[in-house]
Structure 1
């Protein structure tokens, strides 16, 4: 294959690849082609053989490359019109059709009502508006080897009404080749080029007038899986100055600092790239003043700023109302606290499946549920209208904000006063929420003067009672409880034994309940599915508003009593089995 060169697109047995090297391989006879497969799992190496690097793959996958003989069985490519006829005019119809397909349903022949009509409609290529030619091995036109009926000039005669065109996963090598086709489709508005691997992304060399070219009239484009870096994407988009909706997912974008985008954009999808902070896309604030929807799903975003020590503040357009940050690497509330400033117009947020919501802890170290994360996210973003496709009701916002305020108060109560400034700095809505709902009471426990190694420091003062509704007159009641000191290290087995002896009741007949003094939302405990608030379901249910006292049943076991209690006091309710 003397015509082979780096960048040439080939296919063998339906597997597409790009030539990255042409020449000899040490220890092997003859000429070889070093190729990078579109499917990176198809190969055996990354361009290195016996310690010698012959070529580099654009992907980082270790098995994206192979060496093939130039004489391999290569698949026959097609022109645009050949692919169009293969897909939409391959079925013979009308009176001249001799081989009718027999359709069977449950083993019985069915009359072919409607199928012939569909086939005829497909064959009428002039009426086609939506055309999908992905994976049909479409290549550039070689006018010297192309019949007159397949020539470029015949495109506009054959299919002049195409508005949506999918040319993804084909064998194009330059954008000019694609532009030559689009120039002959006067009604084209949407173009999909996914997984084409272009060696040249400049596309208007063959167009006499840039503004009248087929690419310039596009309003929507999909450029996914094209292995584009920032400058390459910018060059591609220069040929599409009027595009309003753009998808550039699964490329190699780590920053938009060197990628000026069309100022006409209303929606942009940048999923599955290499962004690590929101600052990586700050250029959108300068070049996309009309942007409304932004998807950054499945990146590695963990913060607002690249350098947390030297923050360079920025603001993205107020027109952005919809933001998707699902499946990123958010582990801290900081980035969520800063969303209101970074996206001042934000109304609709998706932030599901981030590590933060899998390992939530309260101020006192207790695990929180995903539903707690849902409410704490709502409370931090006052302008939000929907979260993970679920509409935020007024009652839900009220409960979320009061819950968040109580959590801040709890954090302050558990920390020394000198840490107040740092704690409140991490909760920018503190003052606003206090003005709305009143400042929570901060009850700090007095610093203990006891020697931590003394026996007194290791005892719990337990208030034990039986509720009056139980009607157990022989047990201490709420007005006259039993106050007893029990070592924190005592297992629950021993606690049952101690209280059984003091109360004159068989330990096996005791049912002990620790009253924590805290509250939980009833919906969090009862709604089957609240743990999935961060799911992909668009019809997520609303969260309720009822609350109940949090209690812990002290089930006999080896767990120490002290692990259930914060502080030096406990309140235990006694019931009989």
Structure 2
């Protein structure tokens, strides 16, 4: 049992685990090992047996733990060079088999042995630049926890040209083991340590691996699935002082307040952690002045600030241009409205697969599509250049902003005057858009105490005008429309008759067009599947939509007028059919 201790890394039948407890279990004979599996679905509990807590798993999964006998058959670990030769020398030998002379003895191929074969394999290993040794049970120390000096000292002569190394999902227990390997790889720049479980990281806080170590030369590092807290991540990164690109996804990070990151960082990926607001990563402003890319995909971000008292002082580095907020819990436009202030340098955004875009509603509570969400997101962020990997053209921005402006106008029209200030506060681009495109026409519904069952409540106030009024004195123009009150229950047949009689025109000559004041998309053929704009990179295509005023022709029939109109007012354009044939509309 002396060879087992909390933090020891083991593997059985290809399943890796970490020892969390060594000792007796109540009601069971003998000694037991309480282990936490790297695959949290592999176990049966979280360290508790018959109501007794024997150990605690780092993972929050309820079935990450098990009890195993020390006599379990454990998989044999490998040194770095053993793993290298197992994977690459054998592969290279197989690739060059056709060039070798095969000697057969008694009908069997004889295996080549001797110095020539060894020299050939050695030369092949020396030429390796990218090496992947993940899940090969690699460790740098033997069972007595002593350094395998002979093995380590042969690394420089065996594989001196490695620049990219993947040591993920192995049996390392301390950062010193990894450092001992990297120190002997003078050209190493890219290092992946995903899913290793290092013990006593916090206790190593005072240790240093020096500025001239192999780890100090690393420019890109991946520390995913290591169950790190913020403090543990900071300690690990002290040995990577010059890293520029960092991935620390699938850890236990809920805030970066206690995590000082290297100021050399230009890109950081923090997918699948526990962040709930952008304020959780505000420490980036102090420690990462060169940061350009921030990936917060698949967290629980639902707001910008934890509380409003920090709102005025909160900003992220102005150098950040690329942000990924896909697969979070964004349910309102507030966070998107604030991105321009919090991230003044933002140019590229991914925000697909958030609840907001699956439940969009217009001001009059009509459902909107994902394509509407695409346009409304563009309109809210004036400096954005790409959205969900799709380049934003000048035409798309024009269409998006004019559509957004019409939506704000519609919301104002449907609300009482006293709510205007609150509404405009939720649309910070209102003033700027009005200056650029002109303020939309508002037809605010007047408040009244009219009984909804009365005749007055069932009347629709119709403003009737004709664009050809200048050529026909009987027709009202846009500045002086004809006001006609028509019951909502009237069929369109009767509407044609009422308006025709007031204008002195035969109803059959009239073409009536209802102007809604809203806009619709047209020409979607350039984007296959526009309804799925919030897709991943491989599905994203350029959007090429046109936008036009939404109109509805009131074709003579039995349908009631009230089914075409929401509210007490309507705007109807009159065209004469004989003029239409002459091309004057």
TM-score by length of 1: 0.82
Task: Summarize deviations over 1:156-191 as a string: whole Å, max 9, x none.
Answer: 121111111000000001111111111111111110
Contact 1:337 1:380 (C-alpha < 8 Å) held by counterparts: yes
User: Which residues in structure 2 correspond to 1:69-84 (within 5 Å)?
Assistant: 69-84=69-84
Task: Summarize deviations over 1:392-436 as a string: whole Å, max 9, x none.
Answer: 111111111111111111111111111111111111111111111
Aligned alpha-carbon RMSD (Å): 3.9
- CA distance in 1 between partners of 2:182 and 2:264 (Å): 20
Cα drift, residue 152 of structure 1: 1.2
- CA distance in 2 between partners of 1:13 and 1:366 (Å): 57
Contact 1:176 1:203 (C-alpha < 8 Å) held by counterparts: no
User: Which residues in structure 2 correspond to 1:416-495 (within 5 Å)?
Assistant: 416-454=416-454, 456-458=456-458
- CA distance in 2 between partners of 1:23 and 1:564 (Å): 77
Note if 1:188 corresponds to 2:167: no
Cα drift, residue 95 of structure 1: 4.7
- CA distance in 2 between partners of 1:164 and 1:526 (Å): 41
Contact 1:265 1:290 (C-alpha < 8 Å) held by counterparts: yes
Task: Summarize deviations over 1:507-563 as a string: whole Å, max 9, x none.
Answer: xxxxx9987453312135995411111111355122222425344999x99x99867
- CA distance in 2 between partners of 1:128 and 1:326 (Å): 37
- CA distance in 2 between partners of 1:276 and 1:533 (Å): 25
- CA distance in 1 between partners of 2:293 and 2:127 (Å): 33
SS at match of 2:26: coil
User: 1:304 maps to which residue?
Assistant: 304
User: 1:541 maps to which residue?
Assistant: 542
User: Which residues in structure 2 correspond to 1:543-558 (within 5 Å)?
Assistant: 543-547=544-548, 549-551=550-552
SS at match of 2:263: coil
Contact 1:46 1:65 (C-alpha < 8 Å) held by counterparts: yes
Contact 2:451 2:457 (C-alpha < 8 Å) held by counterparts: yes
- CA distance in 1 between partners of 2:78 and 2:203 (Å): 21
- CA distance in 2 between partners of 1:147 and 1:284 (Å): 37
Note if 1:224 corresponds to 2:239: no
Task: Summarize deviations over 1:89-138 as a string: whole Å, max 9, x none.
Answer: 125457576699xxxxxxxxxxxxxxxx9x96796211111100000000
User: Which residues in structure 2 correspond to 1:263-412 (within 5 Å)?
Assistant: 263-308=263-308, 311=311, 313-412=313-412
User: 1:106 maps to which residue?
Assistant: none
- CA distance in 1 between partners of 2:59 and 2:554 (Å): 55
- CA distance in 2 between partners of 1:7 and 1:348 (Å): 42
User: 2:139 maps to which residue?
Assistant: 139
Note if 1:54 corresponds to 2:34: no
- CA distance in 2 between partners of 1:430 and 1:285 (Å): 29
User: 1:154 maps to which residue?
Assistant: 154
SS at match of 1:151: helix
User: 2:63 maps to which residue?
Assistant: 63
User: 2:504 maps to which residue?
Assistant: none
- CA distance in 1 between partners of 2:142 and 2:104 (Å): 34
- Residue 143 to residue 158, structure 1, CA distance change in 2 (3 Å): farther
Contact 2:22 2:33 (C-alpha < 8 Å) held by counterparts: yes
- Residue 147 to residue 451, structure 1, CA distance change in 2 (3 Å): closer
Contact 2:375 2:400 (C-alpha < 8 Å) held by counterparts: yes
User: 1:26 maps to which residue?
Assistant: 26
Contact 1:88 1:123 (C-alpha < 8 Å) held by counterparts: no
User: 1:176 maps to which residue?
Assistant: 176
Contact 2:415 2:445 (C-alpha < 8 Å) held by counterparts: no
Contact 2:492 2:560 (C-alpha < 8 Å) held by counterparts: no
Provide structure 2 residue ranges, at least 5 long, that are not aligned to the other structure: 106-116, 465-474, 499-511, 575-585
Contact 1:9 1:16 (C-alpha < 8 Å) held by counterparts: yes
SS at match of 1:23: strand
- CA distance in 1 between partners of 2:145 and 2:313 (Å): 58
Provide structure 1 residue ranges, at least 5 long, that are not aligned to the other structure: 101-116, 465-476, 503-511
Note if 1:45 corresponds to 2:38: no
User: 1:104 maps to which residue?
Assistant: none
Contact 1:462 1:572 (C-alpha < 8 Å) held by counterparts: no
SS at match of 1:11: strand
Aligned length: 533
- CA distance in 2 between partners of 1:526 and 1:478 (Å): 41
Contact 1:174 1:202 (C-alpha < 8 Å) held by counterparts: no
